[in-house]
A = this chain, B = another copy of it.
Amino acid sequence: MRISFIGAGRVAHHLAHVLSQHHHIIQIYSRSLEPAHTLAAQVGATATVNICEINPEIDLVIIAVSDQAIASVIAEVHQHLADVLMVHTSGSTDIEVLAKNHARAGVFYPLQTFSLDREIPWSDTPLFVEANSEADLVLLTKLAYQLSHRVYQYTSAQRLSLHLAAVFACNFSNYCYDMAKQIVDTQQVDFSLLYPLILETANKAVQHDPKQMQTGPAMRGDQNILNMHQQILDDAQREDLKNVYNLMSQQILQSHHPQ
């Protein structure tokens, strides 16, 4: 397939790299030239900052921009690329945002966290596809199976629920790691001491129900320790950490010791 990208951020970067193993990446469009150039050079494509210069002689356009930019992008290109299948890669944006302006609309959503300088474990990454026509759904499903053995045809509503859950499971758990690092950093204690705990906690959650695996002072209802920890964060004037500590502890407590 001949594939072009609108967007040159982290999702575009990782998708263009893995797709270039089986397909021709033709163009990378981005509002600024440098990221488009960098990615294009890596995957054998050309770069453009003029969205009207996207060559319509292609099989697929992957729109990998911020959610709020998807609607304006499709408004700009739907006439020019009227016959081309166009997909977005967002968890929370409905297919209708494309479909109301473009007949051959689809979704190609990888449920993964994309940081630069990380190899993505593609073969295990769940991919969710959606399309306006059966033919395009077959095409996207086939493309997805080249990347991963976990391909699902989900509705926009199911995808949205997954994305919201992913914010909790990934973005918020990562912020918990970040807060933990801030706490040990102030005592010149090495954050790497927490690595076995972080990995064991994640491994437990993928082998058991996380609620059954909950540990810690709030789960035990150990009010002395809760008070002591709150006092430490108070003394350190870390209102931000204390607010998270209080809210999370209170909810864990209520969840494990209902009235």
Contact = CB atoms under 8 A, between A and B. Distances in A.
Nearest to A219: B171
A25 to B, nearest CB: 23
A149 to B, nearest CB: 11
A139 interface: no
Interface in A2-45: 10
Given A67-B224, A158-B187, A225-B92, A169 B196 contact: no
Interface in A186-228: 186-187, 189, 191-206, 208-220, 222-225, 228
B184 A161 contact: yes
Contact of A160 (B176, B179, B232): B232
Interface-centre pick from A172, A184, A245 (highest chain B CB count, 10 A) = A172
A113 B200 contact: yes
Given A160-B232, A176-B172, A243 B247 contact: yes
Contact of A174 (B167, B201, B232): B201
A162 interface: yes
Contact of A252 (B115, B161, B171, B247): B171
A51 interface: no
B204 A201 contact: no
A178 interface: yes
Given A165-B194, A171-B219, A174-B210, 18 more contacts: A111-B193, A161-B183, A164-B183, A165-B180, A165-B184, A166-B194, A168-B183, A169-B177, A171-B218, A171-B248, A173-B176, A173-B177, A174-B205, A174-B213, A178-B255, A181-B211, A243-B251, A247-B247
Interface of A: 10, 66-68, 92, 111-115, 118, 120-121, 124-126, 150, 152, 154, 157-158, 160-162, 164-181, 183-184, 186-187, 189, 191-206, 208-220, 222-225, 228-229, 232-233, 240-241, 243-245, 247-248, 251-252, 254-255
